[in-house]
Structures are given as structure tokens and as C-alpha cells.
Amino acid sequence: METTEQSMPSDIIPTRNYTSASEKSLWWYIKRTNKDYYGVGNGKSRYDGVWPQAFRTRRSYSGFTTRGYEQREMWTQALRITLGNNNDIGALVLINVRTVQGDLPDIPVIRTSLSGCRVIGRMCVGNNHGLLVPEAIYDTELDHIRDKIPEPIQIKKIEERLSALGNVVVCNDQVALVHPELDKESEEMIEDTLQVEVFRHVIANNPLVGSYCVLNNNGGLVHVDISQTDLEDLSSLLGLPLIPGTVNYGNKAVAAGVAANDTIAYAGMKTTSREFLAIEEAFRLPGRG
């Protein structure tokens, strides 16, 4: 990982939620030697190799060789991030193009709004097959997204009284959970556009399944208060391993603070080390050496 000025996004700040002794030491050096931590200076650290970007990624130690166990540093793909000092990145995902595009060089990152609203993570729902947006989307916004989105992916407007789609639908590329009171026409459009099998469900007795569950194609993170029986039933229904958890220091609305695909996950800067462990286990993210 290079530590150049260009690769250090200005919106990344250190957090005290360090996850190892070495990370605690690194935070100590950042606080005392990096002018950028205090919002002044030219962004360069006086301590070579220490900069706020290092705090975006948890570090763990594991590995095996032919001679037995060998401890070595591995980087997971669960990253801390804040957008405009807001840790609800599941609601605001895709606003900060520069930071996100640097992590996802092979995926188009679109800066947009929906109906003039920036909480786009709560307003739309999609996967690798399609994207559904609310009927109230402005034509200029729709045209902009269509220009940027890869051609095989369909984008369709959906007329649904439960218009905050991200709160009432959660999906991956195979299955979707939806609010029990979603219109039948909306359910059919979700099936056709996203090419998924749809199940009406609640999570921890809450119908806002999109707020209390985040899925990728490897697993999912769900509301921490779900019972063990319901967890097992839901996991069997989806055909995915599910992990209960919270984000941002105890927030049970996991979708507000986490955004994930099959290779990377973002969590708010308040997310603790214990919460990170659940996130990494839930989404089964690949490590990077």
C-alpha cells in the first residue's frame, strides 16, 4: 500500500476503535505527529509511513507454511470510512466518489441523488442484474445513472407506496427479502429486474428487512436481537450463513452503517473491533496480503 499524498483521502480520520496493540501504537503516532489529523498542514506526516488511511483497514495475523504455523500480517477487506463526518454509510453510500473509487477500481462509482435526496442507500435497491429506483426519481438523475451504469444491468422505476426501497428490500444475486406489505406488482418487478427469488419476511419481529439485514453472495449480517430459531430458519430459507451483529458502537440497524459486496465491506468509523469481527465473518471477505 502506497502512502502518497494522492492516495490519502481527506475525509478519512483516525479512530480510537483500534483492533490490535500495533494499531493502538499507530494511532498514538498519528495523533502526535500528523498535522492532517488536526485538519491543518499539507497532509504529509512527519512520522514516515504513518497516516490516517491506515486506520481504514483492520489487520489480523495468520498463515501457514510447509514448516508449520507462521505469523504474518494480513489485511482484511472490511474498511472504516466516514462520509462528511457521517457514519451511516449504508444510507449514504456512493456519495464520496474519490474514496470509494480508489477501493473499487473495476466498478463504476456514481455520484448522484434520488429525488434530490442523498440518502440513496435507503432509496434504491439492486444487485449485479438490476437496479430499482423510486417512481419520484428526477429524469435528470435517471438519465445520469443510465449513462454511468454498465449496460447489462437494467434500471427500472418502481411505483410503490413503501418508496424507501432500501428499507423494505434486501437482496443479493439469488434471493431477496421484502416487507410483508409490499405490493404484489412490486414483488413481481423485483423478481424480474433483479432475477431473484423473493420471500416476504420479518427480522426480529420488524418488517423493515432492508434496515436490519445486509447480504452479499457469501452470507449476511442481521439484527442482533434475532432469536436463534429465527436465525436458523432464515439462514435455511436464504441458503446463506447469517451472523447477528451491530455497527457504529451498538446500532442495531445494521444496514445504516454497513455496505458490502462479495469482496469488500464498509463500516462507519465508530464501528468497534468486536463489531468488525462479526462483519468479516458475516460476509466472508477475502484477505489481502
Amino acid occupying residue 101: Q
Beta-bridge partner residues of 242: 220
Where helices occur in 19-66 by DSSP H, the ranges are 21-33
Predicted confidence at residue 25, as pLDDT, reads 57
The more confident residue out of 45 and 92 is: 92
Q: How far apart are CA 48 and CA 70, in angstroms?
A: 27
Percent of the chain with pLDDT over 90: 47
* pLDDT (tens digit per residue) in 159-181: 999 989 999 999 999 999 999 99
Q: Are 78 and 281 in contact (CB under 8 A)?
A: no
Q: Which sequence spans correspond to the domains of the chain? A: 5-71, 79-283
Q: Residue 139: CB partners within 8 Å, gap ≥ 6? A: none
Q: Residue 148: CB partners within 8 Å, gap ≥ 6? A: 108, 110
Return the CATH number of the domain spanning residue range 79-283. Answer: 3.75.10.10
> What's the pTM value of the predicted model, to 2 decimals?
0.74
51, pLDDT greater than 70: no
The more confident residue out of 140 and 249 is: 140
Predicted confidence at residue 286, as pLDDT, reads 76
Q: Give 42's pLDDT tier (boundaries 50, 70, 90).
A: very low
* pLDDT (tens digit per residue) in 65-95: 344 444 434 445 777 776 666 777 777 554 4
Query: Do you know the residue count of the chain?
Result: 289
- Residue 287 is classified by DSSP as P
46, pLDDT greater than 70: no
Residue 93 CB-half CA count within 13 A: 23
Q: Which three cell numbers stand for residue 3?
A: 502512502
Determine the distance from the C-alpha atom of residue 88 to the mean position of all C-alpha atoms in its chain, rounded to a whole number: 10
182, pLDDT greater than 80: yes
The more confident residue out of 273 and 192 is: 192
* pLDDT (tens digit per residue) in 188-225: 999 999 999 999 999 999 999 999 999 999 999 999 99
Report the pLDDT averaged over residues 265-269. 86
